[in-house]
Amino acid sequence: MQQLTQKLGSGDMIIQDVPYPQLGKGMVIVKNHYSIISAGTEGSTVVAARKSLIGKAKERPQQVKQVIDTLKKQGPIQTYRAVMKKLDAYSPLGYSCAGEVIEVGEGVTEFEVGDKVACAGAGYANHAEIVAVPINLCVKLDNNTNLKDAAYNTLGAISMQGVRQADLRLGESCVIIGLGLLGQLAALILKASGVTVIGIDVSEAAVKQAVDNKVVDLGLTRNAAGVEEQIQAATNGYGADAVIIAAATASLDPINFAGAIARKKGKVVVLGAVPTGFERDPFWYRKELELKMACSYGPGRYDLNYEEKGIDYPLPYVRWTEKRNMEAFQNLIATGKINIDYLTTHEFEFDNAKEAFDLVVSKAEPFTGIALKYNTEKSANKTKIATSESEQLGKINISFIGAGSYAQGNLLPNIPETNDVARVGVLTNTGTTSKRVAEKFKFQFCATEEADVLDDKTNTVFVATRHDSHGPYVLKSLKANKNVFVEKPICLLESELEEIIEAQSEAKKAVMIGFNRRFSPLTDKLKKAVGNNPMTMLYRINAGAIPGDTWIQDLEIGGGRVLGEVCHFIDYLTHLNGSLPVKVSASALPDANKLNDTLNILIQFENGSSGVVAYYANGSKSMTKEYVEVFSAGISATLNDFKELKIYGKGKPKKDKIFNQNKGQKEMVEAFVNGLLTDGKAPIPFEDIVAVTKASFKVLESVKRGGEQVEI
């Protein structure tokens, strides 16, 4: 299938063949009939992409700061990879479309194949022939619906949320500043609600369009003589009950102008992208104005449980969610209460999408809504896409399932380039990522289905997906008779671990987990220095806080930070002392969100060694992240952030310092591949992987038991 993409680095925009999207649980696959270009949101993205690197940096100072922080902590190589991953990626465009359902995922009951639907969401409702959309970002339409109008779904919901935040009643007045797509849609919704609407814009053409189509009761340009007086007259001298700012500008004029024209105790709703540093006097303070933000499509936006898992908010308690806003917007169109036909000033065939965006950037002629029309007679194709002319295989033939930031920065660049190793296929959730990774890292194809990377051509699978899919993919790979490298954790459920143990026993294939720190060059020196005697160990991690609403903290998807990251440090202590953990006890610092991500863990090992993992999410970012102390038979050692090692024994301490942090990712990948080439074995014993994973589960059990010691 084809999709419109753009590279952030060069600004190059192309329609290209990408793999068919993955159909996840609670999702539908939709064949697009129309999608709508948002001149504001997408236009600014395209303009930014076409700027120089300096221009991009000026527009994104926060991201520049992140690059500098990464450079300080991880060195130039990792920083370069992270930056280039962003700049070279094929970024999908679009977030509002309508079409026909052609597949439904597991657990979907409200949609059927053949249903007409309208879709929303960046990363989902893209400018592409085929899209995969979660059910709460998709609404069902009547079969006779005009799909071009329905494709305004996202923009309509955004405008609807702005109107709801204004909370106006029949007969009240509202001034809309900015008569682009969002402003005109908001005006239409308000007019249908019996509200007096006054429209303001810097563009005479935008005002004329709104007036000619009876969208506003009064339309004025911002620089019109006596504009404030005319608004006062139109509102019987009171001022506007509410002002909705639907403009996009860096100027403070809209927010200050809103203060001037709103009535006392009125509301100002920010719907567009404008600064809010208003002047306190004379209007905002003396009128006691209320400033409100409209969050995108409405309640549910940015909520992983709502958008990805499809868990709805109960209607009696949250009357208008983002999906219900979409449904209300579609109902207004279907019943003829609003007519948005006039908004589509331009329509392009999807094949000419680049010309449409050239119009958005150049503004060579006036436009409002730009629709892309798709060839619906074209059949959906699920075949894999070749990205290399070579089909040569080696002794080790690698495919990737998942290839996000970590894989692109730490796994893929470190696969040895030798005739003994072939790069076969890449399968990810999004076709754009699959295509770019396959091209950049010289794989033979990007895949559409799991079967493509689990066939006979592949004998080794790298799993680098979200944590909840690790266990299932490891099992599928073993049952397909493949060696497996899986990013930590190996699974999120104890029952999955038991299945993996059984599957590995039957397949006799190598299973490797991404415990990279044991492969750091400084780790080798530390381990040799402390020897094989029983030892005491301390591993302190200044992990930093991660919001509770991120996928990592979600127990079903990410497993939380103990299963998702603390396993790293349990493994490290296991490797250092050379024996398996047998008992753990753990206590967590109480926190309001019950995340259990600030905790002390005491581990007992078979050989009598003991270790403490001090994992803290409540510290300062300015402090180094990781620090290790080891004491054994008169030897002491410290390892600071995998950059500086000190060994204390007789005489002066021995120091070993490296310029760039090295956590062993390169050495880990090479050790895995070389192990397969040499004897078919993984460099980490499978029993270590099992014991560390079990210990991670027992940490959570001990926390629940109030710190009670638990046997592994």
Q: 329 lies in a domain?
A: no
| Per-residue pLDDT at 365 | 82
Neighbours of 590 (CB within 10 A): 8
380 — pLDDT class (breaks 50, 70, 90) = confident
Does the structure show a pLDDT above 90 at 75?
no
Of 150 and 78, the structure prediction assigns the larger pLDDT to 150
- Amino acid 103: pLDDT: 97
Q: Which domain holds residue 485?
A: 387-513
Q: Is the peptide bond between 653 and the residue preceding it cis, with omega within 30 degrees of 0?
A: no
- Of the candidates 675, 685, 687, which has an alpha carbon nearest to the alpha carbon of residue 460? 675
| Cα dihedral 384→390→393→399 (10° resolution) | -40
Residues in the chain: 712
pLDDT, position 381: 83
> Based on the domain organization, do 529 and 664 belong to the same domain?
yes
Can you state the angle between helices 322-334 and 181-192, rounded to 10 degrees? 70
C-alpha dihedral, 562 to 567 to 572 to 574, nearest 10°: 110
> Residue for token digits 């753009």?
6
Least confident of 85-94, 380-389, 666-675: 85-94
Instruction: Provide the angle, in degrees to the nearest 10, between the axes of the packed helices 253-261 and 227-234.
Output: 40
pLDDT-based confidence at 40, cuts 50/70/90? confident
pLDDT of residue 535: 97
With respect to residue 109, please indicate whether it lies within any of the assigned structural domains: yes
Judge whether 593 lies within some domain: yes
Amino acid at 686: F
Reduce the DSSP state of residue 454 to 3 states and report it. coil
pLDDT at 53 over 60: no
3-class DSSP state of 591: coil
Report how far residue 667's alpha carbon sits from residue 588's, in angstroms, rounded to the nearest whole number: 33
Percentage of the chain lying above the pLDDT 90 cut: 85
| Tokens read off for 135 | 């059910």
Q: Name which of 607, 613, 610, 617 is nearest 627 in CA terms.
A: 613
Q: Are residues 355 and 443 in the same domain?
A: no
Pairing of β 610-616 and β 626-632: unpaired
Q: Report how many domains make up the chain.
A: 4
Contact 387, 438 (CB under 8 A): yes
Residue 589 lies in a domain: yes
Confidence of residue 110 (pLDDT cuts 50, 70, 90): very high
| Spatial distance between the Cα atoms of 340 and 343, rounded to a whole number of angstroms | 5
The Cα–Cα gap between 469 and 381 comes to 25
At residue 521, the 3 state secondary structure works out as helix
Whole-number pLDDT of residue 78:
65
Closest by alpha carbon to 584, among 568, 608, 604? 604
Is residue 85 pLDDT above 60, yes or no?
no
Q: Same structural domain for residues 429 and 360?
A: no
Half-sphere exposure of 413 toward its Cβ, with a 13 Å CA cutoff?
15
> Is a pLDDT exceeding 80 seen at residue 207?
yes
Question: What is d(CA 428, CA 222) in angstroms, rounded to the nearest whole number?
Answer: 48
**pLDDT confidence of residue 81:** 62
Q: Are residues 359 and 218 in the same domain?
A: no
Question: Nearest CA to 434 among 473, 402, 388, 467?
Answer: 402
Same domain assignment for residues 364 and 391: no
CA distance 304 to 461: 28
Same structural domain for residues 427 and 552?
Answer: no
Q: What is the CATH number of the domain that holds 564?
A: 3.30.360.10
Coil vs helix vs strand at 357: helix
Burial status of residue 112 (CB atoms within 10 A of its CB: 0-12, 13-18, 19 or more): exposed
Residue 88 confidence (pLDDT)? 66
Q: Cα separation of 157 and 526, whole Å? A: 58
The answer to whether the CB of 463 falls within 8 A of the CB of 473 is yes
Query: What's the pLDDT tens digit per position in 262-279?
Result: 999 999 999 999 999 999
d(CA 414, CA 408): 10
618 & 692 share domain: yes
In-domain check, residue 572: yes
Q: How confident is the model at residue 288 (pLDDT cuts 50, 70, 90)?
A: very high
Classify residue 126: in a domain, yes or no. yes
Both tokens of residue 488? 């930590």
Task: Tell me the C-alpha distance between 350 and 362, whole Å.
Answer: 19
Say how many C-beta atoms besides its own lie within 10 A of residue 359's C-beta. Answer: 20
By the 8 A CB rule, do 353 and 42 touch? no
DSSP 3-state of 604: strand
Residue 302 domain-assigned? no
CATH of the domain at 48: 3.90.180.10
Identify whether residues 176 and 144 lie together within a single domain.
Answer: no
Which structure tokens are listed for 320?
């208008």
> What is the model's pLDDT at position 134?
97
Q: How confident is the model at residue 11 (pLDDT cuts 50, 70, 90)?
A: confident
| Contact present, 429 and 29 (Cβ < 8 Å) | no
Separation CA 554–CA 426 (nearest Å): 26
Is residue 346, in this structure, part of any structural domain at all?
Answer: yes
For the cut 90, the answer to whether the pLDDT of residue 150 exceeds it is yes
One DSSP character per residue, 241-289 reads EEEEE----S-SHHHHHHHHHEEEEEEEEE-SS------IIIIIHHHT-
- Beta-bridged to residue 245, according to DSSP, are 177, 270
Q: How far is CA 17 from CA 4, 92, 289, 331, 446, in A?
A: 9, 13, 52, 35, 10
Cβ–Cβ < 8 Å for 451, 383: no
Question: Residue 179 pLDDT > 60, yes or no?
Answer: yes
pLDDT band at 32 (very low <50, low <70, confident <90, very high): very high
pLDDT at 364: 76
CA distances from 263 to 285, 289, 292, 712 (A): 12, 8, 15, 68
What is the average pLDDT value for the chain, to the nearest integer? 93
Give pLDDT, residue 226. Answer: 93
Is the distance from CB of 24 to CB of 105 less than 8 angstroms? Answer: yes
CATH value at residue 282: 3.40.50.720
Residue 83 is predicted with a pLDDT of 62
Report d(CA 552, CA 547) in Å as an integer: 9
Residues 504 and 520 in one domain: no
Do 557 and 683 share a domain, yes or no? yes
- Do 448 and 466 belong to one domain? yes
Q: Which amino acid is at 451?
A: A
Q: Which residues contact 59 (CB under 8 A, 6 or more apart)?
A: 48, 51
Residues 143, 61, single domain; the answer is yes
Minimum mean pLDDT among 8-17, 22-31, 621-630: which range? 8-17
